[in-house]
Amino acid sequence: MASSLVAGLDIGSAKTTAVIAEVVGDLPKHPTVNVLGVGQARTTGLRRNVVADIEESTRCIRKALEDAERMAGARVDAVYAGIAGEHVHAMTSTGIASVTGSEITRADVDRANAVARAQPIAQDRELIHAIPQEYSVDKNVGVRDPIGMIGTRLETEMYLVTIGSSPAMNLRKAVERAGYKVAELVLEPLASALAVLTDDEKELGVCLVEMGAGTTDVAVFHEGKIRYLGTVPLGGLNVTSDIVHGLGVTQADAEGLKEKYGCVYEPMVDRAEVISLPSTVAQGDRQIPRELLAHIMHQRTGEIYEMVCGDVERAGYIKKLAAGVVVTGGAAAQPGTPELASDIFGTGARIGVPGEFLGGLADNVMQPRFSTVVGLVQYGAHRVALGGAAHKSRRISVAGGAPGVDRIAQRVKTWLQDFF
Ligand SMILES: Nc1ncnc2c1ncn2[C@@H]1O[C@H](COP(=O)(O)OP(=O)(O)OP(=O)(O)O)[C@@H](O)[C@H]1O
Ligand SMILES: [Mg+2]
């Protein structure tokens, strides 16, 4: 059976996750993907998303991908890998092209985009995304799709995203050492946005807050376009550390308490409720009001949301979030998350869980901590649906059966128009 397999790889500061999926629908904007395999490894080689220990990262990448391959009964050789937003710079650039024929063609659009894209980029930086935002045809501004329109002058406005070359190089190196190729690097908050935001939310104005272990990434959309990308260098690990210090428990016990009794919105907790703390013999039996745990979590998570809110306000978008805030990432699983986000941002809030346009073993990834990896697979599927970038993948029986069909599709350069 010929198939288009795509693989996503998310190297987070707490865990490395791989998903292998098959692209089944061919709608360019929303291709349906069937999840075939999921693999995970606890990450230890990463300090705030910078590949700090290549050997360790390589081991995690190999484990996550091999587990996913085993579950999928398929091998992949290239992956769409997420890169963290910490070293990101974004800028808007314009490009102008004169229209050659009587109406605007794909070639005219590509030329205008190529001009916008041709910006000088510092030697220590790398361009990873060039996202057309909107076009102007003669005096007609705010055009979404200019193809077929009549005009003489086409102008494009493009959002260019660059990252530091050295984190990108280290990430590629770790993936290659694990025995795979990087098909493309994708900015993590953009991948997550693909997995959890709806078109309506992006049109109305929405702030995506992805709270992982080490960092909290932010992406703001308004009128269907990406408007702001940012990162706060704090996440769930900081909440855990506060519990360690505040309650005198180990890191592992703090994680356990968070999962079992945690809540980030203090008013939601019954004041009379008491919980037992894991204790050493010397500490003896210890009981605390659950409200105290919620207080610690509320304070720290609230502080992180406040920082995000401040950044979005400085970017000029805090009053433009008609669709509110969508919180995702592992830490979004904390009860009280929408309540706290709503309190701080002064808008509606919901938890973002991947699931739309997903089939196959989708149940395995319908949790907020899988948003990035699912988004990476959807990004890859979009590439395939556009007719490019299906990387050589072999569908094989891992038990040793006959190899399946090799499929090498020619890579076609496409602009990710209407995608983000
Ligand atoms: N049920 C839960 N309740 C509370 N916290 C949770 C829960 N599940 C996960 N977390 C927290 O989520 C965090 C991990 O999130 P995630 O898996 O998104 O991180 P990551 O992608 O590895 O990190 P990053 O994106 O920051 O590099 C941890 O701090 C963990 O404590
Ligand atoms: Mg993450």
**Domain boundary assignment for the chain:** 1-87+165-198+356-420, 88-164, 199-353
| pLDDT at res. 26 | 62
Is the torsion defined by CA of 372, 375, 381, 385 positive or negative? negative
As a whole number, the mean pLDDT across the chain is 88
DSSP H or E run through 25: none
Read off the pLDDT of residues 315-369 as tens digits, 9 standing for 90 and up.
999 999 999 999 999 999 999 999 999 999 999 999 999 988 788 888 889 999 9
Number of the ligand 1 atom closest to the C-alpha atom of 15: 22
Q: What percent of the chain has pLDDT over 90?
A: 74
Domain spanning 1-87+165-198+356-420, CATH architecture: 2-Layer Sandwich (3.30)
Distance 233 CA to ligand 1 centre (A): 14
Read off the pLDDT of residues 12-56 as tens digits, 9 standing for 90 and up.
889 999 999 999 876 666 788 999 999 999 876 555 555 567 888
Read off the pLDDT of residues 293-323 as tens digits, 9 standing for 90 and up.
999 999 999 999 999 999 999 999 999 999 9
Check pLDDT > 50 for residue 241.
Answer: yes
Q: What percent of the chain has pLDDT over 70?
A: 88
| pLDDT at res. 357 | 79
Distance 288 CA to ligand 1 centre (A): 24
Q: What is the largest CA-CA distance in the chain?
A: 85
**Nearby residues of 401 by Cβ (< 8 Å), 6 or more positions away:** none
Quickly state the pLDDT bin for 88 (edges 50, 70, 90): confident
Decide: 113 in ligand 1 pocket, CB within 6 A.
no
What residues sit around ligand 2, an ion, with C-beta below 5 angstroms?
12, 212
Decide: 57 in ligand 1 pocket, CB within 6 A.
no
Distance 252 CA to ligand 2 centre (A): 19
Quickly state the pLDDT bin for 188 (edges 50, 70, 90): very high
How many residues are listed for the chain in this entry?
420
Degrees (nearest 5) of the Cα angle 264, 193, 68? 90
Q: What's the rounded Cα separation, in Å, for the pair 222 and 110?
A: 24
Check pLDDT > 70 for residue 221.
Answer: yes
Q: What's the rounded Cα separation, in Å, for the pair 243 and 256?
A: 11
State the fold for domain 199-353. Answer: Nucleotidyltransferase; domain 5 (3.30.420)
| pLDDT at res. 393 | 46
DSSP H or E run through 46: strand 46-47
| pLDDT at res. 60 | 93
State the fold for domain 88-164. Answer: Dna Ligase; domain 1 (3.30.1490)
Q: Which residue in 202, 218, 231, 158 sits closest to 416, CA to CA?
A: 158
Fold: same for 1-87+165-198+356-420 and 199-353: yes
Tokens of 141: 């501004």
Quickly state the pLDDT bin for 401 (edges 50, 70, 90): very low
